Amino acid sequence: MPTALLVLALSAFAIGTTEFVIMGLLPEVAADLGVSIPGAGWLVTGYALGVAIGAPFMAMATARLPRRGALLVLMGVFIVGNLLCAIAANYGLLMLARVVTALCHGAFFGIGSVVAASLVPANRKASAVALMFTGLTLANVLGVPLGTALGQVAGWRSTFWAVTLIGVAALIGLWRVLPRQADEEATDIRAEFAALRGAGLWLALSTTVLFSAAVFCIFTYVAPLLGEVTGVSPRGVTWSLLLIGLGLTLGNIIGGRLADWKLAQTLMGVFVALAVASSALTWTSSALIPTEITLFLWATAAFAAVPALQVNVVNFGSAAPNLVSTLNIGAFNVGNALGAWIGGLVISQGYGLTTVPMAAAVLAILALIATLLTFSNRNPELQPALD
């Protein structure tokens, strides 16, 4: 694997830490800014919507730039957004800063995935994308637990100052290491928009939305669930997030290899496992050890789908790789927003934190149905599995 993929992974680590660390700091942010837990959860939703809405616009705004230049500009936006988060004086300004930070997210991962896949032979594309997304999983293994611990000790703002510094390091790495052959040709955005047709592509994007909603329905409220239901201390929440991050990393590695082998079957198997693990969490969350085991298995299943979903969409929209890949990142974050909203709705309606995993299981089953619809009439290798 080229060294440039490691730099892309570092960038993904920085972006992933900013996206996910807010969930570990949700109680601290809510207490400091004087809002409820569901209200603070809207910071997750706001970020996700910023990604979903900003992804196509940022793709168009950077379309005339070579891919390397586009990635540098997007990382610059990321740095500015985190600075604004660190100095935000109130909830409204923090929400605005989160949205600014989110603007770079979709286009960066979309263009970055295309660049990552272009650096390796065709039979290793999913593994290359998985390596880039390893930065995202390491954000959960290291970035989120350490960021949560730092925020609990030195205040949640200190976490965003630290992420800003990581962003600067990633920007320098992109500038120095990213190969210039990625600059050979700027994107023809009009041609890419013209290629956005076909039911398979939109079903694939819908699958991404439902998958991500299933994951974030739980992930957004995992800290309150651990604290209020399982009885885990704030320090224990940090260790639980580390365990989840290990599961995400393992799932990402396994998922990349499986997707290079059997794409459709990988997605179907992951969604079944995700539904089972989510349902189990409803019953295991009252005891520490069963909760930790369930969360690890849930996290492994969750990120096993990420490289497969990215390659799946690009396969359906191969005539528009930059835009389709970017739209899929937007789809992930539409799902993030949807999942956070559904989880918050379940809580606010009085059903309790333990009901949230059941809602996530329903979303995972819907993602399975969308996968079956996507592949059943198109992919001959799927038919034996369907039979």
Structure tokens given for 203: 């079903």
Phi, psi for residue 231 in degrees, rounded to 5: 85, 30
Alpha carbon distance 150, 169 (integer Å): 19
In tens, the pLDDT along 335-372 reads 887 888 898 888 888 788 888 889 999 999 998 898 88
Give the chain's largest Cα–Cα span: 58
Question: Mean pLDDT across the chain, nearest whole number?
Answer: 81
Query: Does residue 277 register a pLDDT over 60?
Result: yes
Query: Does residue 264 register a pLDDT over 90?
Result: no
Beta-strand (E) ranges in the chain? Answer: none
The closest alpha carbon to 224, from 37, 367, 44, belongs to: 37
Alpha carbon distance 199, 349 (integer Å): 36
Of the pLDDT bands very low, low, confident and very high (cuts 50, 70, 90), residue 13 is: very high
Q: What counts of helices (H) and strands (E) characterise the chain?
A: 18, 0
Of the pLDDT bands very low, low, confident and very high (cuts 50, 70, 90), residue 317 is: low
> In sequence order, what are the residues at sequence separation of 6 or more whose Cβ sits closer than 8 angstroms to the Cβ of residue 373?
203
Query: Does residue 314 register a pLDDT over 80?
Result: no
Query: Does residue 34 register a pLDDT over 50?
Result: yes
Comparison of pLDDT for 193 and 156, the residue scoring more: 156
Contact 318, 201 (CB under 8 A): no
Q: At what angle do helices 37-61 and 3-24 cross, to 10 degrees?
A: 150
Query: Does residue 219 register a pLDDT over 70?
Result: yes
The closest alpha carbon to 74, from 86, 61, 87, belongs to: 61
Contact 220, 39 (CB under 8 A): no
Alpha carbon distance 184, 191 (integer Å): 17
**Number of Cβ within a 10 Å radius of residue 89:** 8
In tens, the pLDDT along 155-192 reads 888 999 999 999 999 999 888 888 775 444 555 556 66
Architecture of the domain spanning 3-386: Up-down Bundle (1.20)
In tens, the pLDDT along 122-157 reads 667 777 777 887 787 788 778 888 888 898 888 888
Q: In the predicted model, what is the mean pLDDT of residues 267-280?
A: 89
Instruction: State residue 362's pLDDT score.
Output: 93
> In sequence order, what are the residues at sequence separation of 6 or more whose Cβ sits closer than 8 angstroms to the Cβ of residue 15?
78, 104, 105, 108, 109, 135, 136, 139
Q: Where are the alpha helices (DSSP H) in 119-155?
A: 125-138, 144-154
